[in-house]
Structure 1
Amino acid sequence: MKQLFFIYLIFSVNCFSQESIRAIAKDSIKLEAKSILGVDTSETLYYTTKDNTFFKKTKDTLITYSNFQLSEVTSANTFNPLKINLFYKDFNTIVILDNRLAEVFKIDFNTVQPYKNVSFVSTGFDNTLWIFNQDSQQLELYDYKTNKVRLKTVPIQSDILDLKSDYNYCYMLTENYLYIYSYFGSLIGKHKNKGYENLAFSKAHLILRKNDRLHILTKNGDKIRNIEHPNLLINQFLVTNETLYIYDSKILRKYQLKTD
């Protein structure tokens, strides 16, 4: 009986480990954008154009925001549509917009005391932002309403490549490791970086890019697996729940992620 049990266990583990993730093509749209910054579950699209205008495009409306004093948008987090944050790295500044793209808050880290040299930004819970302080080499959970740091991680010993988060988790990709933090700053996961360059994240999946191939770490999973997808030029990629988006600078393609 014990032998049968172990045979069954080994068989189950092997079947699970051989599960593959496929990206099944759904549809595509032509889009001239400088950078795709977000797609939500209702397919609202957020992007910038060459003149550094930020767009929010739904099926029925198109809203824009421009701040020519701050120039180029380095990154944006659209996870919370009521508190969209735009990061202008060249000016060390974050602008927070509401769902009509009206400016509701501005954080100029050049004037904040103590001074912060910020290189990456992502949204946290409540009135917080995950920021990477380049001078201290620490990830901080920063409350922009009170100008207080709620927590700091230990200093990071390698260059930061990307940072993404939601209310519950923060994913930081460095040259050496992928770090996963809980919303209160505890390190809950660590994976060796095997050549991954950047990442996309939704509440269901984390997607990592290595050259023009994509890989996935599923929710509650502990193994990074390959995604079977067509050979494409991947200029940018995003994920929303089970939907993967790949942009090649002219066409935004939509795929459904399926487990075999």
Structure 2
Amino acid sequence: MRSFFTYLFLMVVSTNGCAQVKMATPSSDSSSNQAVLSPVQIIKGNYDKFEVDAIGNVYLLHEGQLKKISPAGDSLAVFNDVRRFGQPTTLDVTNPFKTLLYYKQFATVVLLDNMLSNRGVVNLRKTGIFTVDAIGMSYDNKVWVFDEQDFKLKKIDEDGKILSESNDLRQAALIAPQPDLLFDSDGTVFLYDADLGFVLLDHYGTYLKTLPFKGWQSVSVSKNTVLGFGKDKLLTYELKSLQVKEYKLPGNFAGMISVRTMGGKIYLHKKEAIEVYMIP
């Protein structure tokens, strides 16, 4: 277990919460995944989704309400109009001052400010974009969308205007990805399709390569490393060293729905609570 937590500690503190990974040696202790730590905070509730921003604020989505709480657990803001367009499929808090909610059923993006006040609504269909699963904030506070009709990565502004787009990936890379996750990290856009792997493009939309890591769960990207979870394992791939590594998970991870790491803490999303642990 120590090897696993040392890995997470290096990942988190190396960039003050931006999660630049430095590789640690995987544990060979067969009993490591049986160890259990005590949470330092428990946020009770049956949440549909949750996210943590770079400041350590936690965003909780439950029964049509989005709530933002401080690292200490104090309520900071509430957005009560979550279900105006149905059930959101994406919650992006990459920018602590701009929250993105995406509603796939209505192809609609809602942008909120740091107090969760509505800053604008973008109907992608009015832009000519009808089929999107993967969406996220860009490095320059615009919005990336992957259009599954023409297989292009597109950047739009708050008014829905298309600012740039890639070539059709069916022609540029001979692939037809159907990603449901999108990350903008360190000059690269990562699209994740569980049946294909990670598809990498630069900020100009130029196809770079595909990483064939399929079936990963709770996927995230931190600069030169992609991370995901398999059964009882943390999986990592370092883009520079080309190394794939696996780490056994401690017992606390049993029953988790998703996991986040930020600011020296691990956040485990379970059925009835968010459990918060300090990284040893």
For residues 166-205 of structure 1, the aligned pairs below 5 Å read 166=185, 168-174=187-193, 175-203=195-223, 205=225
Match in the other structure for 2:267: 245
Residues 138 and 206 from structure 1, CA distance in 2 versus in 1: closer, same or farther, beyond 3 angstroms? same
Contact persistence 2:122–2:160 (CA under 8 A) = no
Note the C-alpha offset of 1:19.
Answer: 1.9
Q: Paired residue for 1:124?
A: 138
- Cα deviations across residues 198-239 of structure 1 (Å, max 9, x unaligned)? 412345753212245321235755323213322411211223
Alpha carbons 1:96, 1:103 under 8 Å: kept: yes
Distance apart, 1:29 and its partner CA:
1.1
Q: Distance in 2 between matches of 1:132 and 1:80?
A: 19
User: What 5-or-longer segments of structure 1 have no aligned partner?
Assistant: 1-15
- How far 1:256 sits from its partner (Å)? 5.9
Deviation at residue 131 of structure 1 after TM alignment? 0.8
SS at match of 1:105: strand
Q: Does the CA-based 8 Å contact 1:33-1:47 persist in structure 2?
A: no
Matches of 1:168 and 1:204 in 2, distance apart?
10
Give the direction of change, closer, same or farther, for the CA distance of 1:56–1:254 in structure 2 (3 Å limit): same
Deviation of 1:86 after TM superposition, in Å, equals: 0.6
Unaligned runs of 5+ in 2: 1-21
Q: How many residues align?
A: 241
SS of the residue 1:224 aligns to: strand
Name the counterpart of 2:100. 85
- Residue 147 of structure 1: which of 161, 166, 185 is its match? 161
The letter for the 2-side match of 1:106 is: V
Answer whether contact 2:237 2:245 (CA < 8 A) is retained.
Answer: yes
User: Whose radius of gyration is greater, 1 or 2?
Assistant: 1
**Structure 2 matches for 1:61-100, cutoff 5 A?**
61-67=75-81, 68-100=83-115
192, 209, 232: which is aligned to 2:229? 209
Determine the C-alpha separation between the residues in 2 that align with 1:29 and 1:166: 30
2:54 maps to 1:48:
no
Distance 1:140 1:198, change over 3 A: farther
Task: Kindly state the Cα deviation for residue 248 of structure 1 after the two structures are TM-superposed.
Answer: 1.4
Q: TM-score, normalised by structure 1?
A: 0.78
Q: Give the aligned partner of residue 36 of structure 1.
A: 49
Cα deviation per residue 1:130-172 (whole Å; 9 max; x = unaligned)?
1121212333233344602412151342432422234733221
Q: In 2, distance between residues paired with 1:115 and 1:32?
A: 35
Residue identity opposite 1:98 in structure 2: D
Distance 1:107 1:100 in 2: 19
Counterpart check, 1:136 vs 2:142: no
C-alpha separation in 2, matches of 1:219 and 1:244: 23
Q: Residues 60 and 68 of structure 2 are in contact (CA less than 8 Å); yes or no, is this contact kept in structure 1?
A: yes
Kindly indicate which of the two structures has a greater share of residues assigned to strand.
1
Kindly, what percent of the aligned residue pairs are identical? 17
1:20: which partner in 2? 26
Q: TM-score, normalised by structure 2?
A: 0.73
2:143 alignment partner AA: L
1:33 to 1:167, Cα distance in 2 relative to 1, 3 A: farther
Partner of 2:248: 228
Q: C-alpha root-mean-square deviation of aligned residues, in Å?
A: 3.1
Alpha carbons of structure 1 residues 215 and 86: separation in structure 2 relative to 1, 3 Å = same
Change (3 A) 1:213 1:116: same
